[in-house]
Amino acid sequence: MKNLTIISVACLIFASACKDNKTSESKKDMDVTPPKAEKIAKNLEMHGDVRLDEYYWLNDKENPEVIDYLERENDYYDKITAHTKDFQKDLFEEMKSRIKEDDASVPYFYNGYYYITRYETGKDYPIHSRKKGSLDAEEEIMFNVNELAEGHSYYALNGINVSPDNKWAAYGVDTVSRRKYTIHIKNLVTGEVIPETIPLTTGGSTWANDSKTLFYTKKDEQTLRSNQIYRHVKGTDTSKDKLIFTEEDETFGTYVYKTKSEEWLVIGSYSTLTSEFQILDANKPEGDFKVFQPRTRGLEYSISHYGDDFYVVTNLDNATNFKLMKTPETKTSLENWTEVIPHRKDVFLEDIDIFKDYLVVSERDNGLNKIHIKRWDGTQDYYLPFESETYTASPTQNIEFTTKILRYAYNSLGTPASVIDFNMETKEKEVMKQTEVLGGKFDPANYEEKRVWATATDGTRIPVSMIYKKGIKMDGSNPLLQYGYGSYGATIDPYFSSVRLSLLDRGFVYAIAHVRGGQYLGRQWYETGKLLTKKNTFTDFIDVSRFLIAEGYTSSEHLYASGGSAGGLLMGAVVNMAPELYNGVVASVPFVDVVTTMLDDSIPLTTGEYDEWGNPNEKEYYDYMKSYSPYDNVKALNYPNMLVTTGLHDSQVQYFEPAKWVARMRDLKKGDNQLLFHTNMDAGHGGASGRFEALKEVARDYAFILDLEGKTE
One domain for residues 237 and 272: yes
Backbone dihedral angles phi then psi of residue 198, each to the nearest 5 degrees: -125, 105
Is 296 a domain residue? no
707 is catalytic: no
Out of 124, 685, 701, 707, the active site residue is 685
pLDDT category at 273 given cuts 50, 70, 90 is confident
Side chain identity, residue 56: Y
One domain for residues 219 and 88: no
Read off the pLDDT of each residue in 690-699 and give the average, rounded to a whole number. 85
The CB density around residue 417, as the number of other CB atoms within 10 Å, is 16
pLDDT at 1 over 80: no
26 is catalytic: no
One domain for residues 77 and 207: no
Domain boundaries, position 472: 64-97+440-708
Distance CA 432, CA 440 (A): 21
Question: What percentage of residues in the chain have a pLDDT greater than 70?
Answer: 94
| Segment 151-160, tens digit of pLDDT | 998 899 999 9
Is 9 a domain residue? no
| Segment 69-84, tens digit of pLDDT | 999 999 999 999 999 9
CA distances from 158 to 147, 174, 625 (A): 15, 9, 35
One domain for residues 553 and 457: yes
pLDDT score of 22: 33
Start-to-end CA distance of the chain, whole Å, equals: 35
Is 370 a domain residue? no
One domain for residues 187 and 69: no
| Segment 564-618, tens digit of pLDDT | 999 999 999 999 999 999 999 999 999 999 999 999 877 766 777 888 999 999 9
One domain for residues 137 and 200: no
Angle 450-452-457 from CA coordinates, rounded to 5°: 160
One domain for residues 157 and 72: no
One domain for residues 632 and 538: yes
Of 585-594, 667-676, 685-694, give the lowest mean pLDDT range: 685-694
Out of 540, 650, 701, 707, the active site residue is 650
One domain for residues 487 and 615: yes
Distance CA 687, CA 680 (A): 7
One domain for residues 72 and 175: no
Distance CA 147, CA 141 (A): 12
One domain for residues 545 and 459: yes
The CB density around residue 701, as the number of other CB atoms within 10 Å, is 22
The structural domain count of the chain equals 3
Out of 304, 565, 588, 629, the active site residue is 565
pLDDT at 347 over 70: yes
Max avg pLDDT among 22-31, 74-83, 643-652: 74-83
pLDDT at 339 over 60: yes
Of 253, 282, 311, the position where a domain reaches its end is 282
Is 303 a domain residue? no
685 is catalytic: yes
Is 594 a domain residue? yes
Is 20 a domain residue? no
pLDDT at 18 over 70: no
Report, in angstroms and rounded to the nearest whole number, the Rg of the chain calculated over CA atoms. Answer: 26
pLDDT category at 10 given cuts 50, 70, 90 is very low
Is 128 a domain residue? yes
The CB density around residue 519, as the number of other CB atoms within 10 Å, is 22
